Chains A and B, each alone.
Chain A
Amino acid sequence: GQNIDQPTEMTATEGAIVQINCTYQTSGFNGLFWYQQHAGEAPTFLSYNVLDGLEEKGRFSSFLSRSKGYSYLLLKELQMKDSASYLCAVKVDDYKLSFGAGTTVTVRA
């Protein structure tokens, strides 16, 4: 089976930084994806890591350590619109994604 763990909830203030951790133990590894999902909407793609290190995309960065089975998503200069669930997902083969339960981030003014 696949095991992907992330915190259930996080709260932060507008303008601050939040780091969402994700640890995984999976039968295969072909990369790690982060998705954002606003309430009542479809998940949308944020980032993809397959090699160790940091990938930066504007206010969002994602880090991967394959030897530790660990990733994080860093959200900088938080805005109210960043209030959403963030889903960590591992590509376990060429087709399938295995998802964590998601982290709900609440941004407060």
Chain B
Amino acid sequence: QVQLVESGGGVVQPGRSLRLSCAASGFTFSSRVMHWVRQAPGRGLEWVALISGDGDNRYHADSVRGRFTISRDNSKNTLYLHMNSLRTEDTAVYYCARDRGDWQLDSWGQGTRVTVSS
């Protein structure tokens, strides 16, 4: 069955960097668009970024553009989120999710928590 497992979260100081990973299994990873979505404490879900199956096309939310970069390694069935210049408002649980083909997310991981604090 489809499995998405995020890792790499933790506590980091403002201005520092962090890389999140999402290990995928149970489907042909390279053929599917993938997303990162986050949920700040007490808040709703917020879309962060999307990457096409071949990695050639990427979209990022305005709130993270220029600081975060989504990438993937199809040889390792792994999705990444490179986060630079972290801010306290980036504190959230970060989820990776699979796109069913039309910006609708049919499988999600359980999330990894990122806390940005001095």
Partners in one complex: no
Q: Which residues of B contact A (CB under 8 A)?
A: none
